[in-house]
Amino acid sequence: MKRRRIVILGTNVAGYTAAIELSKLVAGSHDVIVVANTHSFLFLPSLAGFPFGGCDEEDIMFDVRSDYARHSIRFVEADITHLDLDAQKIFTRTTDPIAYDYVLITTGALADGDYIPGFREHAHTLLGITAAMRTRDAWQPFLSSSGPVVVCVAQESACYGAAYEFLFNVRRNLMKHGLSGVVPLTFVTAEPAPAHFGIGGFHNTEKMCRWMLEHYQINASFSVSIRAVEPGAVVLGTGEHLRSRFTMIMPRYVGVDAVRNTDGLAGDLGLIDVDSRYRHPHHHNVYAAGAAVNIRPLASTPVPCGVSKTGYLSERMAHVAALNIRADIEGLSPIDHSHDDLIAMCRMDNGSLDFAGYDAGMSHPLWYDFSMPGPESQWALSTLWKYFPVKEKSVAA
């Protein structure tokens, strides 16, 4: 059998999972290469608590290079500029073009900083370690001056859990500093109901979230878009101005530059359409997984909502893509497993209450959920933040 070259772009949850999986599946018969602009794995779900000192960088990041070397995976650290899908080559700023037989794109996505005027200048976000560090650096000075806080899930966003976690951790942090009831806290979301998450909701979670918003006296507005962010205010689609001294917004995703710069790879927002095998619809040796994938909403909402993308889903997408790459190489039966059929698992830290849920699939009602109140939830959360990177490394062992 001809030796094939499989190149994975990106090295976070989906990329790292796929690389280790493929190195085991092809067992030295084919080449596995990872190309990424960083050698650090980042546990993204931890970023909602990061600004409040719940964890440090070393708790939620690790160097992937030794794991890759141990599995005979070649690692190339370089900025990818674009792909040539016909020539089957990847171009970077610092290396010669890298040829591939199969490519799996797990580059994640970026915050769209341009579709809401004033977002870059006057708001904070959590999408990426750099953004989370800036939010952390701004939060501590805010505590000494205080003022209204506005937390938003913007129209077309696909990141809901982080916004809810940030909101309730703000509430907890304000209480810790004696500012509870002094600082007005407002939550604005494009969702038609609490914990809708772009997939229709989570069993009892809507009721639980609504109760928490009322219990903690958090002003909440649903089915609301954001028109602009101004110094000291958030302007809603209704024209209403919300006073704000500290604004955190989870905006919509767009694809990374390398994806958007590649002809015929992605749609207008730079997110990649895939079939049930996680292949590109027109280039069947091109696969994608994780936040780079375009997932269409199951139903329309009054204000457009994206579909929630969690780390667990990214991991499962990568697993299916890896199996199908191996199947295509070896002539095995492929696996058809669309994102609608993937099991949805999530946990959400609500400051002093932890929630976990299990779903039969993204398009089905939640089967099971539970909540954990009190200090035990914070212990469980901090343990998870530190456990997940260790778990990922143990998979690579």
Which pLDDT score, from 0 to 100, does residue 195 have?
86
pLDDT tens, residue by residue, 286-299: 999 999 999 988 88
- Predicted local confidence at residue 207, as pLDDT: 83
Q: Are 223 and 127 in contact (CB under 8 A)?
A: no
Query: Which tops the pLDDT comparison, 123 or 395?
Result: 123
Q: Read off the pLDDT band of 247 (50, 70, 90).
A: very high
Do residues 145 and 252 lie in contact, with contact meaning Cβ atoms separated by under 8 Å?
no
pLDDT at 55: 80
Neighbours of 27 (CB within 10 A): 10
- Which of 20-24, 118-122, 240-244, 373-377 shows the lowest mean pLDDT across its residues? 373-377
pLDDT-derived band at 119, boundaries 50, 70, 90 = very high
Those residues with Cβ within 8 angstroms of residue 140's Cβ, 6 or more apart along the chain or in another chain:
none
321-324 contacts, C-beta under 8 A, 24 or more apart? 321/18, 321/104, 321/277, 321/278, 321/287, 321/288, 321/289, 322/17, 322/18, 322/21, 322/22, 322/25, 322/104, 323/21, 323/25, 324/277, 324/278, 324/279, 324/287
In tens, the pLDDT along 5-47 reads 999 999 999 999 999 999 999 978 999 999 999 999 998 888 8
What topology does CATH give the domain 5-110+253-330? FAD/NAD(P)-binding domain (3.50.50)
End-to-end CA distance of the chain, in Å? 28
Strand partners, 105: 9, 288
31 beta partners: 5
| The predicted structure's pLDDT at residue 360 | 44
Name the residue ranges covered by the structural domains of the chain: 5-110+253-330, 112-251+369-395
Predicted confidence (pLDDT) per residue in 123-163, tens digit = 999 999 999 999 999 999 999 888 999 999 999 999 998 99
pLDDT at residue number 106: 98
| CATH 3.50.50.100 is right for the domain spanning 112-251+369-395 | yes
